[in-house]
Amino acid sequence: MSTVSNLTHTFVARTTHLAHLIVLLVMVSALLHAQELDRAALVAFYSDTNGPTTWNSSIRWATANSSANSCNWYGVTCGSGGRVTKIVLRNAGLSGTLPALLGTIKKLNNIDLQSNRLSGTVPKDLVNCTDLIELHLQVNRLSGTFPPEFSSLSQLSIFHMSNNSFYGTLPSSYQSLTQLTSFEVDQNELTGTLPPEYSAWRGIQSFYADRNGFTGSLPPEYSAWTSIVTFRAFINPLTGTLPESYGSSWTNAVSVYIYTTNISGSIPNEWAGMTSLYELQIFNNKLTGTIPASFGNFTNLYYINLSFNNLTGEVPWAVWSKLRGVDVFGFQDNPFLSGTIPVNFTDVLVPLFSMVSVCRTRICGPTLPALFLGYGCVPPSFVSSLGLLTQAAMTQMVQIATYEPSFSCETPQPTLPPRARDATRTALAVPPAPHSEHAASLTTSGPTVTASVVVVSQLISGAAASTGGLHAMQALMRIQRLRALCVAQNQLSSSSFSTSSSGVDDDSSSSGCCDELTNPLQLTIDVNGNSVGEKEAGALIGNTIALVVFGLLRIVGNWSIRQFKKQHRTADFAKTEDSTIFSHVMTALSSCFSSKHISAIWPAYTLLICPTVGVCCMLLQVGNSDGLFVAVALLALWTIPCIGANVGLAYNEHLQKATRSFALCSVNTHETTLRSSVPSTAWKRMKDFLLHPTEELEFSNHAVAKAIEHAYGAVLFGFRSSRLWYFNVELFFGIATGVLIGVTLSSSDPCSINTIGWIMAAVGLLEGASAFCIRPYCAAVDFVVLAVVNGLSVVSQMSRLWF
């Protein structure tokens, strides 16, 4: 009996083990099959998006190699079991269409294909990717309607479809996407109304529906969005009124953009509940009534624009008197808005760079020290661009505005200016182009004077990003120096004095290293007891010290100013007789310490890279072993800022989103919807041509724009968004000029400069030609400045060499 029992037990155990083995084999087989499906979908995706022909060559997949692991392909991430979970290919050169087979990669949780050239429709088969959390397809050429089937993607958190050609309406069924935190469908061709059903998105933080064709009113139901941070619905033919209910629930809102619509009615008092508000842009609507006094609750306010409405009553200046660091107050073109700006209102504004716009209202006010140019007035033709938060747009607004130092309550406000006055006042508002007033005298100015001009121009905050013309000026300074040494040498020879016994300084009888151009600090460093290389090593280390000190001063200064402003924002300072002096001091400090990171050292870097490379080349040719070590080490050190700038350009997500693909044809990102009734003068047309930006960087809000400006503004701002890389070209010409200067430094005969001098002139011409062909600058004025400064410098070089 026991034998039978044992046999039965053994049979059951072995059967169980066999069943487990079969289940395991089935699971492994299913997993391998799923991996094969993932790979097949990726191969189809690579083929349909023209991988072999249009993808960036460095990232193409080896789909022809059957043994290649698809998890190792660029942009592909796999999770447990080798299943594909992410496809991230931003700005990778993708074109063609998205295959339906993508829907078979069921473990996908992130698809990021933004900033490519994809066309066609979005395959509804992606609904099978039930784990999908992020879908980034913005900045492509996609079209069609949004698939209603996506309403079943219950885990979806980010839905970004901006800047495509989608049409139709927003599916109301998307109300089921309750995990959404970011919904961006701006810059499409969408119509219909904003679905009130979307109020179910209780965790939504950013909602972008601007620049479409939405009609109807703003749904009051959106007051359920208690987590909303940024709301954008501008440039849509919306009607109705501003919902009162938003005020009490949008307590976390930082930026609200509802401008250029047909919304009417008054500004709700309840909106004072948006206590976190940083920007409020509700201009160019049909708003009436008064400005709520309760808006004094906006303690974080930085930018408020209520212009181009029909507001009435007195502006509540008193409730805003405790604010600090406000950049823009826009009230212009509200004919019945009144009030007197108090003198102490200057404490509210950012020194030097603020804009207060009150023209064509009944507002009057005194001269305010914080308004460096005066009260601004923006032409109505520029109204469509007032809300675009780009550095180029802000710069252009400042440049095309007209200014009045004060508005007297006894005199009428200006109306739209007549032709002659418009041209005159606008001309006063446009700052002179950098370097242009000095360029005409380049042939007669000495190296020290020219160097001072270059330094001052480079250190001006807000100048054009371009360093074009700087290298030609430095080459001219070197040629001037060599010509002077050659003349002195000839005079000594004709007087029968030898250069060794004439008592002339070594610099006068040598190649000229190291003068104010190559060694501003005039340091000398002993290099192993060898006189050859003392001044050269001093120049290299001195220039590096100057660069580091310059950067540290700006970083520390910027930090100190921010700390002081934080205290100043809350402290109750007594008004003293020195308040005006104090304001001027703060203005000067703010303008000097306005950047950090790479941007902090970039002006000094672009100024010193050319002479530093020149001295390194000289040491490499004539220096001893220690001198060679110093030259190589310093050259390596000086590549770090360039590498840092390129890394930021390549990996900063905000810059990646703002960057466009390279194309010779420029894209004008501004559309003028309103035009002045005053006929354009020739001067105004020329001014618009010079200052109107194309392909400028666009950011989602002022906070991002300011962060990018501080980190990379001196490097990138001023270039078109498809040519941000052009700073490398300018650096290349600086290095090339530096190498040529290094050759002249190593020469013992200052009179043998003709060949190298003509090569320097050719490099200058090539720099101008490259800018003419590539057209890297956002505004035409930058190219004009380059053409004038570079052209005059090259002509001056040629005249020095010829005569």
676 close to 379: Cβ distance less than 8 angstroms: yes
Distance CA 613, CA 619 (A): 10
pLDDT at 197: 96
- Amino acid symbol at 788: V
Residues with pLDDT less than 70, the chain: 1-34, 384-396, 410-469, 485, 487-535, 561-562, 565-597, 621-627, 654, 656-685, 687-693, 695-706, 709-710, 717, 747-750, 752-753, 803
Distance of CA 313 to the CA centre of its chain: 38
Distance CA 443, CA 795 (A): 9
Give the per-residue SS3 of 137-190: CCCCEEEECCCHHHHHCCCCCEEECCCCEEEECCCHHHHHCCCCCEEECCCCEE
pLDDT at 775: 77
pLDDT at 588: 53
pLDDT at 749: 67
* pLDDT, tens only, 272-281: 999 999 999 9
CA atoms within 13 A on the CB side of 142: 29
pLDDT at 514: 64
* pLDDT, tens only, 431-455: 333 333 333 333 333 334 334 444 4
pLDDT at 82: 85
pLDDT at 441: 33
Parallel/antiparallel/unpaired status of strands 84-88 and 76-78: antiparallel
Based on its alpha-carbon atoms, the radius of gyration of the chain, rounded to whole angstroms, reads 32
> Which residues make Cβ contacts (< 8 Å) with residue 349, sequence separation at least 6?
326, 327, 329, 356, 368, 370, 371
Q: Between the CA of residue 225 and those of 180, 194, 277, 301, what are the distances in Å?
A: 11, 14, 15, 21
pLDDT at 632: 79
Range list of H helices, 318-463: 391-400, 419-429, 436-439, 447-459
Q: Which residue has the tokens 């709520």?
A: 292
pTM across the whole model:
0.55
pLDDT at 722: 76
pLDDT at 233: 96
Helix (H) or strand (E) holding 120: strand 117-120
> Which residues make Cβ contacts (< 8 Å) with residue 541, sequence separation at least 6?
523, 525, 630, 634
| Domains, the chain | 31-50+71-190 (3.80.10.10), 451-492+506-566+582-666+690-802 (no CATH)
pLDDT at 29: 53
Distance CA 652, CA 26 (A): 45
pLDDT at 220: 96
